[in-house]
Amino acid sequence: NKKARIEYEIIDTYEGGLSLFGFEVKSLRRGDGSLVGARVVTRGGEAFLVGASIPAYQEKNAPKNYDLERSRKVLLNRKEIEELDAKEGQKRLTILPLMVYNKGRRLKLQIGVLRHKTKRDKRESLKSRDAKRDIERTLKNEY
């Protein structure tokens, strides 16, 4: 979710597992799936990934009633879920998935608690990123 890092300021991050079907795991390992427009919500002491699109690995072998954007349970411990629930209620904070990655044999989801950047903050971060890139470029050319 590259846009989340541009549009939002990352306050805190969490790592959790995902409850998936086998053909969804194969699809994610192949590189399919999208977190654009997805978010994490807490309901009843559990966390869910909502709005993420994960296609089936092989369309013909998937169940007929398979929903690409079904809600998927995020596997976190109770303390982390309570912290997310408290932060979800605070004003101007958003909980979004940042990335899905392999950790050993497991698929993990990185979740971020984010605050929306103002236009001024976005400009400042772009300037600092460009300056850092220029510095690295000059250092690379010197050696």
CA–chain centroid gap for 114, Å, is: 11
Q: What is the pTM of this model?
A: 0.79
Type of residue numbered 45: G
Please report the pLDDT score of residue 92 as a whole number: 85
pLDDT in tens, 18-27: 998 888 888 8
Distance CA 38, CA 18 (A): 14
pLDDT digits (tens, 9 = 90+) for 79-109: 999 999 998 888 888 899 999 999 988 999 9
Burial pattern 37-48, b for ≥16 Cβ within 10 A else e, equals ebbbbbeeeebb
For 127, the 3-state DSSP assignment is helix
Task: Tell me what pLDDT residue 143 has.
Answer: 67
Segments of the chain with pLDDT less than 70: 143
